[in-house]
Copies of this chain bind each other. A is one copy, B any other.
Amino acid sequence: AVGLLAPSLAKAAADDPLPSWNDSRSKTAILDFVGRVTKEGGSDFVPVEDRIAVFDNDGTLWSEQPAYFQFFFALARVKQLYPEHPEWENQQPFAAAISGDMKTLAESGEKGMATIVMATHAGMTTAEFAQLVVDWATTAKHPRFNRLFIDLVYQPMLDTLALLRQNGFKTYIVSGGGIEFMRPWTEKVYGIPPEQVVGSSIVTKFEMKDGKPVLMRLPKIDFIDDGPGKPVGINQFIGRRPIFAAGNSDGDLEMLQWVTGGQGPRFGMLVHHTDEKREWAYDRQSKVGRLDKALDAAVAAKWTVVDMKWDWAKIYPFGG
């Protein structure tokens, strides 16, 4: 009997469109939704052009601890630029960034962070910045796993992206992170092309430089794609109301409200970080990726709250 069973089990595994998900309620909910919106003639059928899915990035598609990965990039840039800026030795928050004094850095708060971002992300062309990001993404490693940061993406979410695309969905990133920090690698890592990445931005300016047209990055905030900014960014960039949204923090609350508040079938997902062993466990008290109000809202709104520990058979593609 075992010999007879094995091949059909193997086949079931091969046919499983979400192999990195355990057979729990979350997986069933995703499969059920995709089945309903793609069933021609069904009451929940959605035409292909309206199958738009949006995903937060930090903490939803890849990890975000002990700090947003873009922050590691900014710190690396501070160290890179330090030789040209000896004055930083006595200037906060740069001194803390150079010496790795994370406590002082954290105390510098949002203002300190903005100072570092502007000093490290502006003052070059868009092409130069993209190259800096590529150089970092292909070499910089996460301190805990000693793996490239771009290796710390969630295999179950890659499965979900693939399943949605196989079913005619257009998949977008809608992230509070920098749009130009993501675009150089999202196609390779997530299969999401640059034109389907929405994010925060600084002002750019068209200039002729040595007779060549360039776009210069200026140290000035243009758009913050977080919280109530996410539905605004979705409307601005996509111009359609998505029917599927996934996030992991209070910064995704308005996006989930906007997406699931429309007519017809809608899917809202919150990734809840519950796996201290394989990843990290945090929610209501966390400084990074706080999940509090949105967790409460999920109950009333019937969003699917993914429990990483129980729902995910695998966390990272490398098997972690």
A193 within 8 A of B: yes
For window 208-236 of A, CB contacts with B under 8 Å fall at 208, 212-213, 215, 228-229, 231-232, 235-236
| Cβ-defined contact, A126 with B49, below 8 A | no
A246 within 8 A of B: no
| Cβ-defined contact, A204 with B261, below 8 A | no
Interface string of A171-191 (1 = CB under 8 A from B): 000000001100100010000
| Cβ-defined contact, B239 with A183, below 8 A | yes
| Cβ-defined contact, B261 with A179, below 8 A | no
Cα separation A206 to B252 with both chains bound (whole Å):
13
Cα separation A49 to B239 with both chains bound (whole Å):
21
A205 within 8 A of B: yes
What residue in chain B is nearest A230 (Cβ atoms)? B206
| Cβ-defined contact, B204 with A237, below 8 A | no
| Residue with the greatest number of chain B CB neighbours at <10 A, chosen from A179, A193, A229, A236 | A236
| Cβ-defined contact, B239 with A215, below 8 A | no
A240 within 8 A of B: yes
A197 within 8 A of B: yes
| Cβ-defined contact, B194 with A240, below 8 A | yes
| Cβ-defined contact, A213 with B257, below 8 A | yes
Residues of the B chain whose Cβ atoms lie less than 8 Å from the Cβ of A274: none
A275 within 8 A of B: no
Given contacts A183-B239, A239-B179, contact A205 B232 (CB under 8 A): yes
| Cβ-defined contact, B183 with A206, below 8 A | no
Given contacts A49-B193, A213-B261, contact A206 B240 (CB under 8 A): no
| Cβ-defined contact, B206 with A228, below 8 A | yes
Task: Give the shortest distance, in Å, between A216 (CB) and chain B (any CB).
Answer: 10
Cα separation A240 to B236 with both chains bound (whole Å):
18
| Cβ-defined contact, A239 with B197, below 8 A | yes
Cα separation A229 to B204 with both chains bound (whole Å):
9
| Cβ-defined contact, B179 with A205, below 8 A | no
Residues of the B chain whose Cβ atoms lie less than 8 Å from the Cβ of A205: 228, 232
| Cβ-defined contact, B236 with A201, below 8 A | yes
Task: Give the shortest distance, in Å, between A193 (CB) and chain B (any CB).
Answer: 6
Interface string of A28-39 (1 = CB under 8 A from B): 000000000000
A16 within 8 A of B: no
What residue in chain B is nearest A234 (Cβ atoms)? B215
Residues of the B chain whose Cβ atoms lie less than 8 Å from the Cβ of A228: 205-206
A254 within 8 A of B: yes
What residue in chain B is nearest A204 (Cβ atoms)? B232
24 contacts between A and B (CB under 8 A): A49-B187, A49-B193, A179-B239, A180-B239, A193-B240, A195-B237, A195-B240, A204-B235, A204-B236, A205-B232, A206-B228, A206-B229, A206-B231, A206-B232, A206-B254, A208-B257, A212-B261, A213-B231, A213-B254, A213-B257, A213-B261, A215-B231, A215-B232, A215-B258
Q: Knowing that A180-B239, A205-B228 are A-B contacts, what are 4 other residue pairs whose CB atoms are under 8 Å apart, sorted by A's residue number? A: A49-B193, A197-B239, A206-B229, A206-B231
